[in-house]
Amino acid sequence: MRRRFGFGRKRCSSSSGTFSRNRLAFPRPRRLLLEPLEERTLLNGDGIPAFGDQVTYDVGNYPFSVALGDLNGDDVLDIVAANQSDQTVSVLLGNLNATYTSQTAFEVGFHPMAVALGDVDGDGALDIVTANNTEFTWTGIVSVLLGNGDGTFASHVTFGGGQGSYSVGLGDLNGDGALDIVTAEYDSGAVFVFLGNGDGTFAERESYRYPNPFWARAAFLGDLNGDGALDIVTDCGHMMLGNGDGTFANPRSYGGSGYAALDDVDGDGALDIVTASSGNVIVRLGHGDGMFDDPVGYDGPVGYDGSSNAHRVRVGDVNSDEVPDIVPLGRGAFPEYHGTISVLPGNGDGTFGEYESYDVGRFPYGLALGDVNGNGALDAVTANSYDDTVSVLLGTVESLTHRPAGPTILPVDAIRFHFPADMDTASFSVGDDIVSFTGPAGSLILQR
């Protein structure tokens, strides 16, 4: 069968209507336009994920966590950073060209250590929830700022006395359609559950304590046993299976520790646990019943002193091949603490290739993944504690499945596509704005 792709000058459509390329504010020499005439999967280069150089934006004092979400309804991801030392969150609204406005600060509780975004009052606007390190002030372990839908927020409400947490998770734990809050108090080892009322308020917390309650700082949510109810994993190596009504079974060990990401990395339909532990990345494949394989370790990002220093981790399809990749965050080494993010490309079977690393700011603590420029590739945002900045690294489009549904704009000067089999140039049609078109040998190179 003949495979044809058209390349030329077209108009792009979006959910807000039809607009021309000029309104996107991207310089024309940096854009290639690809319009598919038939469905076909293309791989740019060899499929290795890649990020561009970081661009930094000022936030508050000692940012410790970062989250992405559309706060003002313009279909562009915005940035929220939790600033530990000045008791604020910084909101940076995104523009269509992947730049951000100057920060707007909103007060929260004492020493915010983590931030999450979700619609906790059901009005369709994202709200901000922080976990606070209250030390011995007992002034409230959680703060909630209700969003107005335009990027601004009401004054925070702080509740749930405790000594502090390093994480906050949002999810519907009891099936009532309202978001609930999960956090962990690091001194007592208790996991706190706040069931939401659906109007931005929450019930009194329920506490779950571990047999060895030492240094449980974080809690993570996911359905580990496939029963439709969210379960809890903590960074101290315990898990609690949810009953679906907002209560949980007794905690038990899953055999690991460290900050976790829960995702199906081997494609079997069961969530797996990926952790950053002792500077390395650890993968435990899940069976779908709450049980896991023995751990498999991968080297984390290497700092300037030559040691692995991964201490946070995210999972996402960075190279758009429909296979999850692992993105660990390295905090850097003494004395400068130059941070990095790395990408371990997934093979689809729960194994991963060698990592590529990219520079970010100093002593980064927070990491979020999302498509901030709308090109179909995941981008990375870090919270850099020692620089009082966030770094934005735009991801390149490394693979795309093209369908006859409109053109795709590619943010490159030249792009090479690889195909599963050899193809000749007669399989493609090109527009006048392409000055180089070569093949076959299973590849297609386009150059302005």
pLDDT value of position 126: 98
pLDDT in tens, 340-358: 999 999 999 999 988 888 9
Cα–Cα distance measured from residue 253 to residue 2, given in angstroms and rounded to the nearest whole number: 55
Q: In this structure, are residues 359 and 377 in contact, taking their beta carbons and an 8 Å threshold?
A: no
If you write DSSP's letter for every residue of 46-115 in order, what string do you get?
Answer: TS---B---EEEE-SSSEEEEEEE-SSSSSS-EEEEEETTTTEEEEE-B-TTS-BPPPEEEE-SSSEEEE
CA nearest neighbour of 171 among 223, 132, 131, 218: 223
Q: In this structure, are residues 382 and 404 in contact, taking their beta carbons and an 8 Å threshold?
A: no
pLDDT in tens, 112-169: 999 999 999 999 999 999 999 876 555 568 999 999 999 999 999 988 766 778 889 9
Please give the structure tokens belonging to residue 80. Answer: 């929220």
Residue 216 has pLDDT above 80, yes or no: no
pLDDT value of position 389: 98
Taking phi over 0 as left and psi of -120 to 50 as alpha, with beta for the rest, 328 belongs to: beta
Cα–Cα distance measured from residue 262 to residue 221, given in angstroms and rounded to the nearest whole number: 8
User: Looking at this protein, which amino acid is placed at residue 42?
Assistant: L
Neighbours of 346 (CB within 10 A): 27
Helices (H) and strands (E) in the chain, counts: 0, 38
Share above pLDDT 90 across residues of the chain, in percent, rounded to a whole number: 50
Residue 9 has pLDDT above 50, yes or no: no
pLDDT value of position 336: 81
Taking phi over 0 as left and psi of -120 to 50 as alpha, with beta for the rest, 348 belongs to: left
Mean pLDDT (the chain, rounded): 78
Q: Which residues of 369-388 are buried (b: 16+ CB within 10 A; e: fewer)?
A: bbbbbbbbbbbbbbbbbbbb
Model pTM score:
0.79
Q: In this structure, are residues 133 and 141 in contact, taking their beta carbons and an 8 Å threshold?
A: no
Lowest mean pLDDT among 112-116, 284-288, 329-333, 420-424: 420-424
Neighbours of 264 (CB within 10 A): 17
Cα–Cα distance measured from residue 46 to residue 31, given in angstroms and rounded to the nearest whole number: 21
pLDDT in tens, 375-385: 778 999 999 99
List all residues 6 or more positions away from 335 whose beta carbon is below 8 Å from its beta carbon: none
* In the block, residue with structure tokens 């993944």: 369
Residue 110 has pLDDT above 70, yes or no: yes
φ, ψ of residue 93 in degrees (nearest 5): -80, 135
